[in-house]
Structures are given as structure tokens and as C-alpha cells.
Chain A
Amino acid sequence: MKKNKLTGAEIIWECLIREGVDVVFGYPGGAILPTYDALSKYKDNIHHVLTRHEQGATHMADGYARTSGKVGVAMATSGPGAANMVTGLATAMMDSVPIICITGQVPRPAIGSDAFQEMDISGAVIPVTKHSYLVMDIKNLAQTIKEAFAIARSGRPGPVLIDIPKDVQSEEYDFIYPKEPVKLPGKNPLDREIDKKSLGDAADLIATAKRPVILAGHGILLSGASKEVIELSEKGDIPLSWTLLGSGAVPASHDLNMGMMGMHGEFAANNAIQKADLLIACGMRFDDRVTGNTKTYSLDSKKIHIEIDPSEINKNVPVDVALVGDLKLVLKKLIPILKDQQNTDWINEIEKWKKESQSRDIINADTQMLYGAQVISDIWKETNGDAIVVSDVGQHQMLEAQYYKHDEPNTLLTSGGLGTMGFSLPAAIGASFYNRNKDIWVIVGDGSIQMTITELATAVQENANIKIAIINNGYLGMVRQWQQLFYDSRYNETPISSPDYVKLSEAYGLKGIRVISRPEIPVAIEVAQNINGPVLVEFVVEQHDMVYPMVPAGADLDAMISRPVHEQFKDAEM
């Protein structure tokens, strides 16, 4: 008999291959076993990476997706395996990252019976996914997978979960990969002309503005609109500032780039936003970490919001002109109707603000102790600024944003929206599967690394070419900073011990280096870069260092605590 039937498990792999997937991050278990069994047939087409925890698998898929622009795929078993994916899904959802999580489910007859390892994962993840499926009929399997990919990557990207009962995986069915393009209920909100009147209104606002500022967000990267944003900035002589996830969207070295905005943003940038008469928000969503107190946020400015997701318009900050659409397409229509402009006075004022803190910065000081800022600044220099950096969450994340000057898009991967500690190591492993020939640096705190340190084993197993810089300050530093500023320095539960990272590296089978003074930094970096594979470098830094500038949560954006002048520069200042 001619065999044209495939099992559900085989259909899964066939569909993944047709979607262009060549690497899957996952962890097996009972309910997904038929799919892992079928993997033998597809080993030439798909590389499966066995992670050490399902959360790691989701962050790997996420890191892979963020650098490649492709959809990342993670796989897990039912119940506990699926539950471990929730953090990764929420992380991807908040940062609009297209990943697909495939989970096994208990067999259909057992669903609803509290069977062993049963959990309603497709229901549980509703709030943290773009969509979720439970495939109850093998007839729908191929179509569902195809739909899931289309949903994950279209419009504002995001994660999708597909839950597949074990008996659907082992059932047989004729495999026909659906040819027709995916169609979803309703009208695509982007399937219409960009509103002419709004374009005109935006152009008018830009033409009359004297103190305009561009707010550069993650949408620039998702839309691939860096070139257009730079054009807008140069044509209108408009200074710009970026959100954490917009880092690299516009070269840090560009003259009109004021640096990051928000809670730990640059003084010049926040000041300019507050004093502006026009804000042009490009693919950003006025998150509370960038606005500070919305009641006093940039009160004198008109606001233009260019955004793909209509539900973001007027959500946090009311705007005057909304241009809903893909940023690149909108800018391609907007730029030609703009006139060349010059905002010399405004730019000069900003230049003055910019100069204020730079030269007196800690990175220029000759200190006994090592500081996080120095480490990151030196990594930036030693890597010629063209590494891919994956940062974790905390003080080191903010220092990375301030001191690693990204000139290229998609070279910083970080969990911005959810702020998920433990993101960086697995995300970097994921990214390494796309960037075989690029240096990948993980910048991570001693707290964050210990959240997902198990993935060191995965890094070694895959010989992932990643360099892990642990900024060890002996504290959950960012929380300690808040305790120092707002809770009278009562450091409850923020001192945190670490294993001996050099010995630990040895035990895991990778090289470990410890650095305690500044002159050692370039040496360590060179050693690390010359090894093809994972290397861990621990930087032992000043324990009570702070990240400045800082806008306290909920305060006005220009009520900043500035970067203090370092001791060494105090006399010179006087």
C-alpha cells in the first residue's frame, strides 16, 4: 500500500520545515513524546537544542527571533513543561517578539479529568499570547500551524502557543500543506491607505515646530525603518532619543542622537522631551518607564504617533495626530512632503545639556575599585562596538544601555517590557544559532545569571559562541538602589551570594576568568574572544554603585537625579 499518510507528529515537523524553521529549542516529556520520536526522520533538516529548563527554551527562541527577524520555536511537554513556558511567552508578548511554543497535551479522552500532567495551557496563556490553540482534530493540525506562524509574524508580532494532545500526535492523516495564504476573521486594520489628512496634519506640525524631538522605539527595528527615521531626523533637523528596545535603531554616534530617554535616560534627552513643542513617536508606546508622570509629561508639545497597533493610540498619552500603519510605509509617504528645516537654536541648547555630564563620568576616572560602567564601556571599546549584546535586568542593563553605543539595528537584545531576570543567557544561546560569525556578549548581574544559570550546560553542549560578562556587585543591585533611595538603606534580602564562578565554569566545562581591576579588562576580553565557544568572565565591581541619571518612579521626567561628578573631577570643575 502506498503510504501517503503521516502521523500528527510528522505533520508538525513537516510544517515547521515548510515555515523555514531549522532550529527548535525544547525539552521532551510524556505528552510530546510522539513528536520527539518522529524527530529521527527530520534530523537533517532541523537541529533540536535540548535546553535545561523550558523557560530557557522560550528565551532561546526569543533571542533567535530578535536577531534573525524569523519566528523562533520552542517545544515542551504538557503540565509542568508547558507551565515553565509562561514567563517566556509573557516576555515575548511584552516586547512583540514572534515565537511559537508547541506543547504536548494529555490524550483527548483524558482532557478535563485532571489527568497526570494535565494543565489547560492554551487557556492559561490567553493574557500573555497573541493567540493560542488547542488542536482537537488532526484535520486542522497543518492549517493551525500555518495560521500560528502567520499570526506570530504579522502586524505587531507576538507569541503563539499550540497545544497538541498526544493522541493527535500519533494519529495518522493525509498530509497536505495548505497552499492558500492564511486568512483570519475580520479586516486587517493595515489593509487601507494611510490617511492623507493625517499625513498632511503631521507635515504641518513638523513644518511649524521649533523644538521637535523624535521618540525612537522598537517598532523601527520591527519595521526595518532605521534609514527612514534617520532621513526624517536629518531632513527636519530633529534630534532624537530612543527607548531601551529602540537602542541601535539609529546609530548612537549620530549627531542628532541624544541617547536613551526615560527613567535612566540621558539628562539632555529627558529635558528636551519636556521642553519640546513637538514629539514624533515612532513605533513606541509611551510606557511608564519612559514618560514618568504622565500628568506633567511634555505638556507644551503637540504629539504625532506613528504606530502599527491601533490599540496603542491614546492609551497612555493623548496624541494630536495618529498615523496607524507600518512605520516604514508611513515614513515613506511622510518624508517627501516635508521641507528641509533647520533648528539651530534648539540643537545648540541640547548640545549644552549633552556636554554637562559626559567628561566628569566615572568611566573617565582612574579608580581603585572596578565600576560596572567602566566594564561595559571597555567591552564596547574592545569589541569595536559591533558585538551583539544580550543584557539582563537590573543596574547592569541600564549601564549597558548607557555605555555600550550601538550603531547597528538589532544588536541589543533585552527584556524591556516584562523585565525578566534570567533572560540573557538563554536568549544569547538562541541568538548564536543565527549569528555564527558575530561576537555575542552577555551582560548580566550576579542575581540574574543565577536565575537561569543551568543553561550554561546548554551553551557548552552546543559550543555556543557567547561571552558571558557577569557584573558581580554582590547585590540585587537595582533593588538595593531603590532601598538606598526610597527605603532608608534597609537592604532586606538584596545581598546575594554567588558560587565561585571560575570553578563553576570549570565544572560545566567552559573557561572562566575573574577580573578585579581595570587593566585586566582588555586582556580578559581578548582571551574570551579568541576562544571559539562559551567563556565566562566575572567582573568583581563596586558593591554600592548607583545608576544615574534617575527619574524616581512616577516623578516628572525632568525631575532627574543627575550623574554625580566623580571625586577626581571635582576640583577641575570648581
Chain B
Amino acid sequence: MKQTLILFMQDEPGVLNRISSLVRRRNFNIESIVAGRTEINGITRMTLVVNEPNEAKRVNIYNNLKRLVDVFDVVDATKENCHVREHVLMKISLKPDEIHEIEKLVLGGNCKILDQDPKCMILEISGDESTVEENINILSKFEVLELLRSGKMAMISGDQERNKPFLTRSEP
């Protein structure tokens, strides 16, 4: 089962190092990690998607992340109404007769042409898991030169108290 965790941590050199070291050491099965700055200066936000069938181990992952000194809070978005998005860049090689077909696909949905030359084109796909997978699938029938996935970002809908991270400090 997939578990989506949103981490809030101190923007310190080495903090990503600590997360990846923990993941490695505890042998967690990670599907994707994305991190970036937030609306608050000094706080980095990370979305961690974990693929761990064992319930006890999932709780263990959560608790171990919380144990890191640099981590303010971890919000488990797995069971929340939550938007999970991924961004994909794909470079495909083109034969002249295929261009038309692709343009149809692009018009159809969540896919955008970023770059085009006589031999290949870069496409941008973004959306939730199923949209992304579906588009990649369709485009895979062309010759894929490069594929790049950003990893998943998650944001919980609404403004509920229980999903608010604890972003202040306290005495240890």
C-alpha cells in the first residue's frame, strides 16, 4: 500500500542527507521523494511516497522521520482527501506521419508540446497518478528517447486543523 507523507523540516545543509540515510538504514521502500522551499522562510517541505505493505513498518517510518532533530513535523496524507501531482518530461523520436497523431493526443488532455524539431519533440505531462501513467503509456508506443519524472507532490484539500503541521519549536 502506498503511503504519502508530507515532511516539514529545517532548511539546513545536510537535511536531505539525513532523510536519505534514514531511508537506507531502515530499509524503507521509497517510491518518490520531492523537496522544495515553502511559504515560510527556512522551512523545506518534502513529499515522500512510500511503498510498504506492512502496516507496522509504515508506522515505524513515520515515527523514525519524526525522530530526526531537523524535522518539525510529518503529516500523513495517505487517508486524507489530497492532491498528488507529478510532472513528466518525455522526449520522443518522430516520424513525419506520427506528428498528427501526437497533436491529437495533446489536444485531448494533460499533455503539452514544449519543443519540436524535425526529428523529435519534448512533451510535458502533469497531473495525478492515473493521468500521468495513462499518458506515458500511450506515448510509449512511439520511440522514447528520454523520460524524466519529477516524483510526487502532495497537498491536502481544505484547511482542517488536524492536517496542520506543527511548525514551531519546543524544549526537548
Contact = CB atoms under 8 A, between A and B. Distances in A.
Interface size class of A (residues with CB under 8 A): 20 to 34
Interface stretch (A81-89, A119-127, A505-513): A119-127
Interface in A138-162: 150-151, 154-155
A313 B59 CA distance: 9
Contact of A185 (B13, B56, B63, B69): B69
Interface string B50-84: 00000010011001101101111100000000000
Nearest to A155: B172
Interface in B113-172: 166, 169-172
Contact of A182 (B18, B64, B171): B171
B3 to A, nearest CB: 15
A476 B102 CA distance: 70
Contact of B72 (A131, A186, A310, A315): A186
A187 interface: yes
Contact of B170 (A126, A131, A184, A309): A184
B92 interface: no
B21 A314 contact: no
Given A122-B14, A155-B172, A311 B71 contact: no
B5 interface: no
B17 A188 contact: no
Given A126-B17, A311-B63, A188 B56 contact: no
Nearest to A123: B17
B172 A126 contact: no
Interface string B18-49: 10011001000000000000000000000000
B26 to A, nearest CB: 9
A310 B66 contact: yes
A191 interface: yes
B171 A188 contact: yes
A188 B71 CA distance: 11
Contacts of A150: 171-172
A318 B59 CA distance: 12
Contacts, number: 72
A347 interface: no
Contact of B56 (A189, A310, A315): A315
Contacts of B170: 183-184, 186-188, 191
Contacts of A309: 67
B6 interface: no
A151 B9 contact: no
Nearest to B42: A185
Contacts of B64: 311
B60 A188 contact: no
A134 interface: yes
Contact of B71 (A126, A182, A185): A185
21 contacts: A127-B25, A134-B13, A134-B14, A155-B172, A183-B171, A184-B69, A184-B169, A185-B9, A185-B10, A186-B73, A186-B166, A186-B169, A186-B170, A187-B73, A187-B166, A188-B170, A188-B171, A191-B171, A309-B67, A311-B64, A315-B56
Interface of A: 122-123, 126-127, 130-131, 134, 150-151, 154-155, 181-189, 191, 309-311, 313-315, 318
